[in-house]
Amino acid sequence: MKAPDRATPTGHELLVGELTAALSSSTADPEHGALPAALAAQIAAAGERLLRADASLATARRRPPDASWRLWSGWLAAAAVLGLWVGTPGRRARETSPPAPLAATPQVPARSAGALRDSLLQNDRALLKLAWTSSTDDVSPMIGGDVVWSAAAQRGVMRVVGLAPNDAKRSQYQLWIFDKARDSRYPVDGGVFDIPAGATEVVIPFAARLPVGEAIMFVLTVEAPGGAVVSGRERVVGVAKS
Amino acid sequence: MTSNDAHGAVRAHLALVPPDRARVASSAKAVSVTLVPVPLLPRIAAGDESAVRECVARYGALVWSLVRRWVPDGHDAEDAAQEIFVDLWRSAARFDGARATEAGWVAMVARRRLIDRLRRSQRGITYEPLPDDYDVIDEQEPDLDQADRVVRARAAVQALPAAQRTMLELSLLHGHTHEEIAEATGTPLGTVKSHIRRGLQRARATLLQATPRLSEEQDG
């Protein structure tokens, strides 16, 4: 039996998708109706921004002929990050994972992540760069590094120094992006990641799950494996704010 | 074009593809045409911004109908819908029209996201079981075009026995777990699982039938 590749749906997933679409089209659903117009407009605008950002990244990519950077451009970046995400042993056991590049793991080659960081720094003049402040967490009392965020590309790279290694079966680190225009109770999820034993510094690329208009703060928390939809913020291990 | 399913006479769907892609089986009295829209995801993968709004317009209702069934809370539902479309944009380059219809792909992406959200909210999910030979399905599906797939998928769900269709609807459309379906319908859990498994196998068999390539409906 073939091992399912999360980036490429299995025949079973496609079958279920076809049947779901067919059932939906053949089942009257006056209760749920159409996508609300305002929401549809918001989704479309965000999608257009995403495509523009990818196009700008692709353009920027063509300037420096750095082979490693190609891994992180446009749609290829999605596939690459997803592949690493899926490749994490703890993830493989789960039936599904989202198809988008939602998080990175320390297995991301530092050179590639670093190349992305360098490229963002080089090509985005409006790039946001914020330093991590010391945390109030007992396990990781002092962290360093920074986070760079490109609003145009809707992605960023964080460099974290001094964060304690975690046991992914017990807990994972999660990144949160606070958008100025968004209710601070519901920051945007930046994804979960692990710190391997022995690592003193990690460089992690990330992308927002939802469009971020103006990022004003990034927060690292410790959550249950798989992350949280809404963080209880019991353990905040890092804050970077403007 | 007209729709007159109640009389079983003529059924047609609006053409959104060039005429040469339309597959028409006709006789003097019977015409059944299933035309599928030109896929938008390849355009999106190529960076065509104009395809984004078309895609939202075309599949917004499909996504929203799934989201509202799976996510009761309005705020969460809006977030879920946005996340699904972000996933869709980012997976657009992986869409393969030889393996799936675009609507099927959209539904697949939506289900992945909704399942992930449910898992994150700590709710246990029992997935529909895989057919025993699901892993060979890819090798069996080389000869279907988009129109055929749409026809077959609809035929597949229509042809299901009522119990199997009901169980699949509750599982696929509403996102209910097997246990929830058993409780809601008063059906033993094992029977629920059996209905879903057999429904999937039967539907898959219909999708893989070699002939006819088009459905035809006689009106006389």
> Across the interface, do B83 and A209 touch by the CB < 8 Å criterion?
yes
Instruction: Name which of A141, A138, A226, A221 is nearest A178 in CA terms.
Output: A221
Distances (CA, A) of A169 to A91, A139, B109: 11, 17, 27
| ipTM, interface predicted TM-score of the complex | 0.71
Which residues neighbour A181 within 8 Å (Cβ) at sequence distance 6 or greater? Answer: A213, A214
Is residue A107 a contact partner of residue A82, using CB atoms and an 8 Å limit?
A: no
Instruction: Name which of A188, A192, A142, A176 is nearest A162 in CA terms.
Output: A142
How far is Cα A193 from Cα A104, in angstroms, rounded to an integer? 6
Residue-wise pLDDT tens digits, B20-29: 333 333 333 4
How far is Cα A57 from Cα A72, in angstroms, rounded to an integer? 9
Instruction: With beta carbons under 8 A apart, name residues in chain B contacting A94.
Output: 119
- From chain A residues 22-81, the ones with a CB under 8 A of any chain B CB are 22-27, 29, 31-36, 39-40, 42-44, 46-48, 50-52, 54-55, 58, 75, 78-79
Tokens 């393969």 found at: B96
> Distance (Å) from the C-alpha of residue A239 to the closest C-alpha of chain B?
23
Nearest CA in chain A to B207: A15
Provide DSSP, A206-236. Answer: EE-SS--SSEEEEEEEEESTT--SS---S-E
- From chain B residues 48-77, the ones with a CB under 8 A of any chain A CB are 48-49, 52-53, 55-57, 60-66, 68-69
> Distance (Å) from the C-alpha of residue A209 to the closest C-alpha of chain B?
6
Residue-wise pLDDT tens digits, A78-111: 333 333 323 333 333 233 333 332 333 333 344 4
Cβ atoms within 10 Å, residue A224: 14
The pTM of the full predicted model, rounded to 2 decimals, is 0.50
Tokens 């029992």 found at: B126
Is residue B181 a contact partner of residue B167, using CB atoms and an 8 Å limit?
A: yes
- From chain B residues 119-178, the ones with a CB under 8 A of any chain A CB are 119-121, 127-128, 130-131, 134-138, 141, 149-150, 153-154, 156-158, 165, 168-169, 172-173
> Across the interface, do A24 and B65 touch by the CB < 8 Å criterion?
yes
Distances (CA, A) of A138 to A143, A144, B75: 11, 15, 35
Q: How confident is the model at residue A31 (pLDDT cuts 50, 70, 90)?
A: low
Most confident of A72-86, A98-112, A180-194, B48-62: B48-62
> Distance (Å) from the C-alpha of residue B167 to the closest C-alpha of chain A?
12
Instruction: With beta carbons under 8 A apart, name residues in chain B contacting A228.
Output: 120
Q: Which two tokens stand for residue B24?
A: 């028409």
Which residues neighbour B194 within 8 Å (Cβ) at sequence distance 6 or greater? Answer: none
Instruction: With beta carbons under 8 A apart, name residues in chain B contacting A31.
Output: 68
Q: How confident is the model at residue B138 (pLDDT cuts 50, 70, 90)?
A: very low
